[in-house]
Amino acid sequence: MSTIIDKAKEIVERNGMTSKITLLQGKMEEIKMPFPQVDIIISEWMGYFLLYESMLDTVLYARDHYLAKDGKIFPDKATIHMAGIEDGDYKDEKIGFWDNVYGFDFTPLKDTALAEPLVDTVELKACVTDPCKVFEIDLYTINAEDLAFRAPFSLKARRSDFIHALIAWFDIEFTACHKPIRFSTGPHSKYTHWKQTVFYLREVLTVEDGECVTGFLASKPNAKKKRDLDISLKYELQTSDDSRFAAGGLDFKM
């Protein structure tokens, strides 16, 4: 859609590829393709939390209208994962800040701050729980309506600690390559600009090694802005001896 296509045309011409490469400017849903089918679709459609401001709807449109039988999509699989983290200092800085703003009580803004997920880099050592796979996408079979989901999670504590937030990240796979390729945007991997998505909890959870935080993660496109997301979290911690119980839920706008 952007004017960078003008420079792309110059580059194609300078490298003697005008007979092999055709550049089209416009929205996939609106342009007229010069041929009825394609063998391969390549797209970097992923957004924060995988689906925020993503272009996946457009990729699925291209698949349904142009991909030949047995055609390939790159990448073709994506998975959202979750974990629980200890992040007391940063939570106090981001959320507790509103308790005292230069001597004034700004606590009504706490709920607003909690409702906005933070996109930031989380250190692996902050992870209190094992990761949990929550939502999977197969680009060959998924439909646009499937992108609104509600999925269970179970996060097992790997040490006794506090949980201040739940984080989400995604993995991407290119399974149709001669040698399958994948990369992760998780805290255990090299830095990517997608970072991780942090959902701060209203209350601090105290977990012992081996205990599980269970719940549901739900996400759907915003009714007014389809590239924005409405995300909700329901979580519960109950010890085997019933000595501790905690439950809660939060709604987020992204």
Is-catalytic flag, 203?
Answer: no
Confidence of residue 46 (pLDDT cuts 50, 70, 90): very high
CA 167 to chain CA centroid, nearest Å: 10
Among residues 10, 13, 29, 44, the one annotated as catalytic is: 44
What number is the average pLDDT over the span 74-93? 91
pLDDT, position 98: 83
Mean of the per-residue pLDDT values of the chain:
92
Please write the tens of the pLDDT for every residue from 109-137. Answer: 888 888 889 999 999 999 999 999 999 99
pLDDT, position 14: 97
Is-catalytic flag, 44?
Answer: yes
The CB-side HSE value for 128 (13 A sphere, CA atoms) comes to 26
Q: Go through the domains of the chain in sequence order and give each one's CATH number.
A: 1-34 (no CATH), 36-253 (2.70.160.11)
pLDDT, position 61: 95
The whole-angstrom separation of Cα 163 and Cα 68 is: 48
The DSSP bridge partners found for residue 34 are none
pLDDT, position 128: 96
The whole-angstrom separation of Cα 115 and Cα 118 is: 9
Please write the tens of the pLDDT for every residue from 14-34. Answer: 999 999 999 999 999 999 998
In this predicted structure, the answer to whether residue 192 has a pLDDT above a threshold of 80 is: yes
- The sign one gets for the Cα dihedral 65, 69, 72, 78 is positive
Confidence of residue 183 (pLDDT cuts 50, 70, 90): very high
Among residues 10, 29, 53, 86, the one annotated as catalytic is: 53
| Single-letter code of the amino acid located at 12 | V
If DSSP codes are grouped into helix, strand and coil, which group holds residue 65?
helix
In this predicted structure, the answer to whether residue 212 has a pLDDT above a threshold of 90 is: yes
